[in-house]
Amino acid sequence: FIPLLSATVPFVSGLTGYRFRQFFIYNLAGAIIWSLLWVFAGYGLGNIDWVANHLSITLILITVATLLPAVSAFVVKIIKHA
């Protein structure tokens, strides 16, 4: 999930003449898939005893895994420019 991307895609779609009906259908399908993915992931992970008993560790691991690609890209960019 990239907040900047999700905020600008509707404007770019409108400016490029993308049909509203098609955009709406894809946007709605994406929202439903995204929501169901996280609901079922939360339900599935919540039923694992270790995850339920160590929720803070689990959330830290998920956060690190989410931030890792951005941090690694930043480090690579710094190394290339050094």
Please check the confidence at residue 64 and state whether its pLDDT lies above 60. yes
Handedness of CA 77, 4, 37, 46 (dihedral sign): positive
Contact 27, 40 (CB under 8 A): no
Handedness of CA 37, 50, 2, 70 (dihedral sign): negative
pLDDT tens digits along 8-55:
888 888 899 889 999 999 989 989 998 999 899 989 988 999 988 998
As a whole number of angstroms, the distance between CA 82 and CA 79 comes to 5
Model pLDDT, residue 45? 86
